[in-house]
């Protein structure tokens, strides 16, 4: 019997990874499987969002001051519920919650990890059927297991992440996650209800021809950023172009596309929002970790995203991420 089937489920893959680390406790593998379970539940609702009355505002305003859509709330509760009842997570920080949630029970207090999550990013696109996603980062806690986790466990530099990933609820539903050993993508097979390995060992092409930015803010960007964007628009065959502009306003989809095909995604600071719009801890850090493992780069325009010491759970940062050589060209404009 062929025991080396190529089509591995997420569970089989994470367990197989354990074989390479016999001393591993399996906690991280269980954590990733828990996330996969919650993602499958969210996927069901996202897929039928157009059919049932789950659209529309939940009537509340989240910490971002944005209308909360019911699907945001549902997604947050799914991940919160699965992780709280799992055995691999001591607590969680979420875009949808003002403060961290400490899973203060004996098993959770002995867990090694905490999670930062954006349960449903791009939710403003829900009503118009544009792909949306979940983004998460896994940190080893700095406080001593055995006691409840605290805020210091969450305000860590992104380079401390042990794993990070995202789910894109699109034409197909994919879960992509990275550890320091590599980036792997799993596509949900609805016929068996399992994420199956479809994109092993993802590497971001060193060069691409896609640049992603909201041109609507162009005149609010720093002059050096404007110069780079203009350079992207005037690339020729001789200078590595021509480039194409792709931006759907859903970060998970935009960055996923550029990770696979090569490209650069930018959400710069503007005169109105000098720190940009995107959140460091649960949007930028996870993607920066994934992109670096895949061979790309991610900065705030001045320093490596993963080196930034956070001071607040919901702090924003300007964000530039993508193919190594494109990021290095950007740096010649904005250094
Ligand atoms: P803008 C979605 O609301 C989001 O947080 C990201 O997914 C996306 O990249 C960005 O905002 C889009 O923002 O200002 O260009 O509409």
Find out whether the beta carbon of 250 lies less than 6 Å from any atom of ligand 1. yes
Kindly state whether residues 246 and 317 are assigned to the same domain.
Answer: yes
Q: How far is the CA of 279 from the centre of ligand 1 (A)?
A: 11
With a 6 A CB cut-off, is 187 part of the ligand 1 pocket? Answer: no
Q: Are residues 195 and 214 in the same domain?
A: no
Residues 119-149 have pLDDT tens digits of 999 877 877 888 999 999 999 999 999 999 9
With 0-12 / 13-18 / 19 or more C-beta atoms within 10 angstroms meaning exposed / middle / buried, residue 224 is middle
pLDDT category, 23, cuts 50, 70, 90?
confident
Q: Please indicate, yes or no, whether residues 40 and 159 belong to a single structural domain of this protein.
A: yes
Mean pLDDT (the chain, rounded): 91
- Centre of ligand 1 to C-alpha 124, Å, is 8
- The residue whose two tokens read 């609805």 is 190
Q: Does residue 59 register a pLDDT over 70?
A: no
For residue 188, is it within any domain? yes
Establish if 17 belongs to a structural domain. Answer: yes
- Choose the weakest-confidence range: 9-23, 45-59, 118-132, 285-299: 45-59
Q: Is the CB of 277 under 6 A from ligand 1?
A: yes
Centroid of ligand 1 to alpha carbon of 295 (angstroms) = 24
95-123 per-position pLDDT tens digit: 999 999 999 999 999 999 999 999 999 87
DSSP, collapsed to helix, strand or coil, labels residue 1 as coil
Q: Which CATH number characterizes residue 228's domain?
A: 3.40.190.80
Closest ligand 1 atom to Cα of 66: 3
Instruction: Please state the pTM of the whole predicted model.
Output: 0.93
Same domain, 191 and 223: no
Does 180 map to a domain?
Answer: yes
> Are 160 and 19 part of one and the same domain?
yes
Alpha-helical runs (H) found in the chain: 10-20, 27-47, 70-85, 106-109, 223-233, 251-261, 285-293, 324-334
Residue 123's pLDDT is: 77
Other CB atoms within 10 A of residue 57 CB: 12
Cβ of 196 closer than 6 Å to ligand 1, yes or no, is no
Express each pLDDT in 308-324 by its tens digit: 999 999 999 999 999 99
Give the mean pLDDT of 279-291.
Answer: 98
Q: Are 209 and 50 in contact (CB under 8 A)?
A: no
Q: Is the pLDDT of residue 49 over 70?
A: no
Is the pLDDT score of 1 beyond 60? Answer: no
- Shared-domain flag, residues 117 and 187: yes
> CA separation (Å) from 167 to 46, 102, 111, 132, 226?
12, 24, 24, 8, 31
67: β partners: 61
Ligand 1 near 121 CB (within 6 A)? yes
For the chain, the first-to-last Cα distance in angstroms comes to 57
CA distance 197 to 185: 6
Mean pLDDT value across residues 319-330: 98
The domain of 300 spans 210-334
Query: Sign of torsion, CA 284 287 293 297?
Result: negative
Tell me what percent of the residues of the chain surpass a pLDDT of 70.
Answer: 92
CATH code for the domain of 15: 3.30.540.10
Ligand 1 atom nearest to 265, measured from its CA: 9
Ligand 1 pocket test, pick from 134, 215, 267 with the greatest ligand atom count within 8 Å of Cβ, gives 267
- Site to substitute for ligand 1 among 67, 250, 322, most atoms within 8 A of C-beta: 250
Give the total number of structural domains in the chain. 2
């Amino acid at each position: 019997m062929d025991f080396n089937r190529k089509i591995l489920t997420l569970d089989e893959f994470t367990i197989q990874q354990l074989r390479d680390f016999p001393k591993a406790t399996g906690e991280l593998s269980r954590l990733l499987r828990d996330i996969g379970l919650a993602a499958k539940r969210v996927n069901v609702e996202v897929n039928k969002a157009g059919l049932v009355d789950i659209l529309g505002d939940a009537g509340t305003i989240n910490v971002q001051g944005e209308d909360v859509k019911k699907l945001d709330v549902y997604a947050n509760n799914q991940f919160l519920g699965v992780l709280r009842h799992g055995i691999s997570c001591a607590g969680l920080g979420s875009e949808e919650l003002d403060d961290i949630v400490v899973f203060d029970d004996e098993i959770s207090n002995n867990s090694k990890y905490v999670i930062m999550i954006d349960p449903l990013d791009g939710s403003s696109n829900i009503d118009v059927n544009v792909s949306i996603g979940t983004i998460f980062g896994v940190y080893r806690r700095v406080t001593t297991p055995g006691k409840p986790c605290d805020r210091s466990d969450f305000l860590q530099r992104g380079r401390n992440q042990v794993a990070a990933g995202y789910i894109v609820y699109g034409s197909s539903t994919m879960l992509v996650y990275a550890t320091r050993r590599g980036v792997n993508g799993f596509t949900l097979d609805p016929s068996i209800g399992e994420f199956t390995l479809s994109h092993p060992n993802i590497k971001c092409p060193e060069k691409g021809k896609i640049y992603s930015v909201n041109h609507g803010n162009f005149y609010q960007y720093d002059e050096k950023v404007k110069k780079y964007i203009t350079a992207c628009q005037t690339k020729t065959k001789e200078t590595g172009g021509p480039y194409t502009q792709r931006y759907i306003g859903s970060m998970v989809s935009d960055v996923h596309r550029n990770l696979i095909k090569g490209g650069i995604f930018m959400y710069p600071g503007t005169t109105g929002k000098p720190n940009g719009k995107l959140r460091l801890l649960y949007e930028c850090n996870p993607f920066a970790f994934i992109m670096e493992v895949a061979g790309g780069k991610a900065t705030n325009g001045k320093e490596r995203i993963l080196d930034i010491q956070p001071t607040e759970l919901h702090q924003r940062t300007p964000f530039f991420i993508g193919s190594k050589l494109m990021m290095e060209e950007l740096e010649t404009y904005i250094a």
